[in-house]
Amino acid sequence: MSACVWGGMDIQFFIELFFGGLTRGSIYALIALGYTLVYGIIGLINFAHGEVYMLGAFTALLVAGVLGVYGFPAGGILVVAALAAVVWCAAYGYTLEKVAYKPLRGAPRLSPLISAIGMSIFLQNYVLLAQTSDFVPFPNLLPPMDFLEYIDYVMGPSDFLILLVSTIAMVSLSLFIRFTRMGKAMRATAQNRKMALLLGINADRIISLTFIIGSALAALGGVLIASHMGQVNFGIGFLAGLKAFTAAVLGGIGSIPGAMVGGLVLGLAESFTTGYFSGNYEDMLAFGILILILVFRPDGILGKATVEKV
C-alpha cells in the first residue's frame, strides 16, 4: 500500500469524522440553546430540558404513525410530524415553567433545581409507562437526495437534513434575538430584570417565551435525531440533555453564540475521539470536559467573566 493512498484515505476519514461531528454537534447546539436561554433569563438550569427533546422524538413518532395509516406521502409526514412535535413541546415547555418553576420564584435556588429534576424523572417514567422501555423504530421518511451521491461517504440524507434544519433554526433565532422587539426585550430582561420591568416589559411573558423557544428547538433536535438513528427510546433525553448542558457550559452558559459554538466543539471532539481512539471514551470525554471547564474556566469559551444575576 503506497503512502499516497494512505494519505488519501486519511483525508477522507478526517472529512467523514468532521461532518459526523458537525451533525452531532448541531443537535447538541439545538438543545444547548434551551439551557442557555433559560439560564440567561432566570438563572435556572432546567434539568427537565433533555426530556423535552425525547418528548419531541416521541411526538413525531406518534404523529407519523397516525399519518402513515392514512397514507400520506413520506416527506409530507415528516414535515407535519416535526411541526406537531415542535408545537406540542413548546406548549409543554410553557406549562412546565408555569407548573414547576413559577410557583418557586423567589424560593431558595435549590428548590427550582429539585423541581426540575422531579419533572425530568416524572416525564421519563410517564413516557416509559405510556410507551415502552424498548427502542421503538422510527420510520425512514426522508426522500432520496440524489445530489448527495458524490459525497455519500460524508453525509447521508439525514445528516444533510440535520445540518440544514439546525442551521436555519439557529440563524432564525439569532436574527430574532438581534432585531425584533421581543428579542431585544429578552436581552434586556437577561441583563437587568428590574430595569426591564421599569420599561414596561412583562417579565412573565419573556420567561414563557424563553421556555417556548428553547423547547421548540429541543423538539426539533429530537425529531432530527430520531429520523437519523431510526429509533427512539424514553431514556435518550438523559444523556443528550447532559451533553447539551456540557456544550452550553463549554460555550459559556447564558451566551447564545456560546451554546452554538459549544455544541459544535463538543460534537467534533466526540467524533474525532471516537474515530481516532475509541468509541468507549465518547461519554467520558464529554463529562471530562464539563469538569475541566467548571474547575478552570466556569465562564466557558464565550461567556463573560462576570455574569450578573439580580
Partner 1 sequence: MLDQRNDDSMGNGSSTTRKTYAMLELCHVDTYYGNIQALRDISLSIEEGEIVTLIGANGAGKSTTLMTICGINRPRRGEILWYGKPIHHLPPHEVVSLGISQVPEGRLIFPDLSVSENLDLGAFLRHDPTGVRNDLDYVFSLFPILAERRRQAGGTLSGGEQQMLAISRALMARPKLLLLDEPSLGLAPIIIQQIFAIIEKVNADGTTVFLVEQNANQALRIAAHGYVMENGRIVMRDTAERLLQSEEVRTAYLGM
Q: How far is CA 159 from CA 146, 166, 168, 282, 308, in A?
A: 14, 11, 14, 19, 38
Phi, psi of 192 (to 5 degrees): -160, 100
Q: Does 127 bind partner 1 (CB under 8 A)?
A: no
Q: Does 200 bind partner 1 (CB under 8 A)?
A: yes
Q: Which of 91, 128, 197, 239 binds partner 1 (CB under 8 A)?
A: 197
Least distance CB 206 / partner 1 (angstroms): 11
List the one residue out of 180, 251, 250, 256 whose CA is nearest residue 214.
256
List the interface residues with partner 1, window 128-187 (CB under 8 A): 181, 184-185, 187
Pick the closer one to partner 1 by CB: 124 or 255. 255
Q: C-alpha grid cell for residue 109?
A: 435556588
Pick the closer one to partner 1 by CB: 184 or 309. 184
Distance CA 297, CA 38 (A): 21
Q: Does 106 bind partner 1 (CB under 8 A)?
A: no
Q: Does 291 bind partner 1 (CB under 8 A)?
A: no
Phi, psi of 201 (to 5 degrees): -80, 125
Q: Does 108 bind partner 1 (CB under 8 A)?
A: no
Kindly tell me the sign of the dihedral angle through the C-alpha atoms of 80, 167, 184, 104.
Answer: positive
Least distance CB 23 / partner 1 (angstroms): 32
Pick the closer one to partner 1 by CB: 210 or 273. 210
Least distance CB 150 / partner 1 (angstroms): 44
Q: How far is CA 119 from CA 21, 35, 101, in A?
A: 30, 15, 10
Q: Which residues bind partner 1 (CB under 8 A)?
A: 181, 184-185, 187-188, 191-192, 194-202
